[in-house]
Amino acid sequence: MAVEIEMRARFTEEVHKQLVTRLKAEGEDLGPDDKNIYFYVLPDQLLKVTDNMAAGSAKITLKTGRIGQGAVFPETEIEIARNDVPAAVRIFNALGFEHAMHQAFNQRHNFRFRGVEIAVKWSDAWGHHAEFEVLLDETADAAAQENAATRIRDVADELGVRLMTEQELADFTAAFEAAEQARKKKQAASVAPAG
């Protein structure tokens, strides 16, 4: 199991364009990485089924922890065939996770800059945003995790990007989840038989 140190930023379309331009000039361009993702937001975990259209691959990922509760996310991944994505989603829904599922298309372009992987992204829920991450071995101690977090903050500062605080992340994800639940409730009511 790897340990992902991850921080996020949201910004305008103009900042998005400037960041991509700078990373293409000064960073390592890892290429487009568009994905269709089925998220299952569970109390203390995030379960994902990812169809990576750009790479022609798919995977199931379990991250312990939640956005807004720290930057350290131990994660376990299993590669699956792309044509198994619908079956994986059906299995997780049948196991009772359907109420926690959100589907999202993520347009993304990946870069590496000063040892930090940066996914510059756009999605309906998040708008223009980026994830800054450093992947560590599962044996990484607290000092290694803090060094990775410091490296991410330093890179974001150098690029002129303000990272979201844990409170901003918690507030944003709570608002998103509440809006999604309201949308699902409204959708269910509109298809329920009159009676």
Domains of the chain, first to last: 2-188 (2.40.320.10)
Q: Is the pLDDT of residue 193 over 70?
A: no
Return the higher-pLDDT residue of 70 and 174: 174
Q: Is the pLDDT of residue 123 over 70?
A: yes
Q: Is the pLDDT of residue 195 over 60?
A: no
Which runs of consecutive H residues, i.e. helices, occur in 94-194? 142-159, 166-191
What residues pair up with 57 in beta bridges, in sequence order?
52
Round to whole Å and give the CA distance between 10 and 73.
20
What residues pair up with 28 in beta bridges, in sequence order?
112
Q: Is the pLDDT of residue 45 over 70?
A: yes
Asked if residue 69 lies in contact with residue 166, where contact means CB atoms within 8 angstroms, the answer is: yes
User: How confident is the model at residue 166, as a pLDDT?
Assistant: 86
User: How confident is the model at residue 71, as a pLDDT?
Assistant: 60
What is the average per-residue pLDDT within 57-74? 76
Asked if residue 113 lies in contact with residue 25, where contact means CB atoms within 8 angstroms, the answer is: no
Return the higher-pLDDT residue of 140 and 88: 88
**Can you say how many angstroms the Cα of residue 49 is from the centroid of all Cα atoms in its chain?**
12
Q: Is the pLDDT of residue 30 over 60?
A: yes
pTM reported for the whole predicted model: 0.83
What is the average per-residue pLDDT within 151-173? 93
Return the higher-pLDDT residue of 2 and 87: 87
Q: Is the pLDDT of residue 74 over 80?
A: no
